[in-house]
A and B are shown apart, each in its own frame.
Chain A
Amino acid sequence: MSIDEKTVRKVAKLARLALPEERVAPMAKELNGIMAWIEQLNEVDVEGVEPMTSAVEGLSLPMRDDVVNDGADPERVLKNAPKSEDGFFVVPKVVE
């Protein structure tokens, strides 16, 4: 499966990465180089193999008690915000 320029534009859009037009063709070439190398995985017989979704076998995700154990600390939460006002993040308009 080769990645064409249309796919590169689509994937960049999905990833929310502005890709200047002159970078589209070189990026397609770079990605194809990497994906061509990855294609060798098709040689492996994976019939009936369970996908490995966790690095540790039999790990159960523990639940914590449903109680408030943190929070009420807006100053710390907003400390690194590029823009904030009155205890809120200020973001660009989302709905017109």
Chain B
Amino acid sequence: MEKKQFSSVDLTEAFIAAIDKANPHLNAFVVTTPEKARAQAKASDEKRAAGKAGPLEGAPLGIKDLFCTEGVRTTACSGILGEFTPTYESTVSGQLFRDGAVMLGKLNMDEFAMGSSNETSHFGPVVSPWRRGNEDSKLTPGGSSGGSASAVAADLCLGATATDTGGSIRQPAAFTGTVGIKPTYGRCSRWGIVAFASSLDQAGPIAKTVEDSAILLQSMAGHDPKDSTSLTNALPDFRAATKRSIKGMKIGVPEEYRVDGMPAEIEALWQQGIEWAKAAGAEIVPISLKHTKYALPTYYIVAPAEASSNLARYDGMRYGARVAGRDLNSTYENTRASGFGAEVQRRILIGTYVLSAGYYDAYYLRAQKVRQRIAQDFRDAFERVDAILTPATPSAAFALGEKGDDPVAMYLNDIFTVTANLAGLPALALPAAVDANGLPLGLQVIGKALDEESVFAVSAELERAAGFRAKAAKWWV
């Protein structure tokens, strides 16, 4: 656009056409906003012509349905929000538009971001553009930001917003050969983002490259007085950090991430990442994060507990669909039973149980203490290292329906990502190789609190070394 080879209107029209073709097959968008996109693109072209282009001027993006968008239906992909149409804009999406972004539509996700395969969405699962070899079975793009990952991987937008409570940015990025970063807790304002587990939720981008993810995060992050947990620290130049050398950096490799039953190709990928870091002049340091195995059980107390409180607001009185009962309580009960899906109901019940009288100390308080242990493991490790390198997921993408019956098996998808949420740390997943079936596999780089710069530096170096060029074939065209 800067070279005047095409305009934002041209680019936006191309994406609108691509979405029209692909979406019946991928189900990545739950709402498309072509008219809004065209108007924004036209305004962007005018701003650019006037020499007033912002950092994202004219760039068409997708917005996860968890972000409130003024005048555009926002449901967190839950039935309980009905046709909820916000009269306000989330801080994060507002900042993207301030910087010139164009919105193509709202992206599918697991209901209230609870899921790792996008199968809990009220609007049906998202299909990954990737396929195993020549098979045509439908694979998951991961979750909860499955629509974001699928849309970016299928070239239906330049980048997308996403959110990460236990791995919901990084696991879908790893499954789809895209880049996703969850910044330090508090970097991005949570204002206007439908709440799931408030002490864990963080917004971040899913993009095609590490540099793109840095540019998007720059616009999304920053202090917001409307979120009391929003950090006041000044934002560093994230894009500049992607050009930094990692020579002399100390990179930790935690022994506890070598889990039972991990496929050999994940192990090999991790070893390859270590070799790439060494070749770039980094020093590899073995470290121990000894409470790693307790991270997921801790998460499955803390997150449902917070969710059961956050989701108490959905009572059918102020928004969403109301299902009348014989009295007020039964109206609440009917409204919630009909509006929430099975996984959300399960988590609300767990959360209510662990917070209920007689169980609070045994479960919730204990989980908060174990969470402290997990965070302390990281604090100790970061005394000795500048960043930590791990695999992003314990496997490549699985088929839709493959892990339907056992919630715990599904939860184990987030084994490598959930620790960064509990400890509030920045972490990025990037594609590094393909498995024997041609599916992407990702590495994860975890940084100290507030040190996204080291995360970007290491990730960009690994990205250059990996030279990942694989793309999903556009079988829907």
Contact = CB atoms under 8 A, between A and B. Distances in A.
A52 B225 CA distance: 24
Interface of B: 82-85, 87-88, 184-186, 199-200, 225, 228-229, 231, 291, 293-294, 297-298, 300-301, 308, 312, 315-322, 324-325, 327-334, 336-337, 340, 345-346, 348-353, 356, 359, 362-363, 365-373, 375, 406-408, 421-424, 449
B458 to A, nearest CB: 22
B407 A30 contact: yes
A71 interface: no
9 contacts: A11-B353, A16-B315, A18-B325, A44-B291, A52-B422, A55-B423, A56-B185, A80-B84, A83-B322
A51 B302 CA distance: 12
B349 A16 contact: no
A67 interface: no
Interface residues of A, number: 51
B349 A46 contact: no
Given A34-B300, A51-B369, A93-B328, A44 B353 contact: no
Contacts of A93: 328
B369 A50 contact: yes
Given A55-B199, A61-B228, A31 B349 contact: yes
A92 B331 contact: yes
- Give the one of B291, B298, B315, B337 with max A CB within 10 A: B337
Interface string A54-69: 1111010110100000
A33 B294 contact: no
A12 to B, nearest CB: 6
A37 B408 contact: yes
Contacts of A51: 365, 368-369, 371-372
A72 interface: no
B345 A92 contact: no
Contacts of B331: 92
Q: Which secondary structure dominates chain A's binding surface?
A: loop
A82 B320 contact: yes
Given A40-B294, A55-B199, A31 B353 contact: yes
A41 B367 contact: yes
Contacts of A31: 346, 349-350, 353
A27 B317 contact: no
A26 B39 CA distance: 51
Given A10-B356, A40-B293, 14 more contacts: A1-B359, A3-B353, A15-B352, A30-B346, A35-B350, A35-B353, A41-B297, A41-B370, A50-B369, A53-B368, A81-B318, A89-B317, A91-B317, A93-B328
Contact of B352 (A14, A38, A42, A50): A14
A58 to B, nearest CB: 11
Contacts, number: 163
Given A34-B350, A82-B321, A16 B332 contact: yes
Contacts of A50: 369, 372
Contacts of A76: 87-88
Contact of A38 (B297, B319, B369): B297
Contacts of A79: 85, 87
Nearest to A81: B318
Given A52-B372, A55-B186, A41 B336 contact: no
A72 B85 CA distance: 20
Contacts of B351: 15
Nearest to A80: B319
A78 B373 CA distance: 45
A34 B411 CA distance: 10
Contact of B369 (A33, A40, A49, A91): A49
The 3 closest A-B pairs by CB, nearest first: A55-B424, A51-B368, A55-B185
A46 B370 contact: yes
Nearest to A10: B356
Contacts of A80: 83-85, 87, 318-320
A15 B309 CA distance: 9
Contacts of B367: 41
A51 B422 CA distance: 12
- Give the one of A42, A49, A61 with max B CB within 10 A: A49
- Give the one of A12, A30, A38, A40 with max B CB within 10 A: A38
A46 B353 contact: no
A40 B297 contact: yes
Contacts of B368: 51-53
B356 A52 contact: no
A18 B337 contact: yes
Contacts of B371: 51-52
B322 A82 contact: yes
A7 B298 CA distance: 22
Contacts of B85: 79-80
A31 B356 CA distance: 15
Nearest to A39: B297
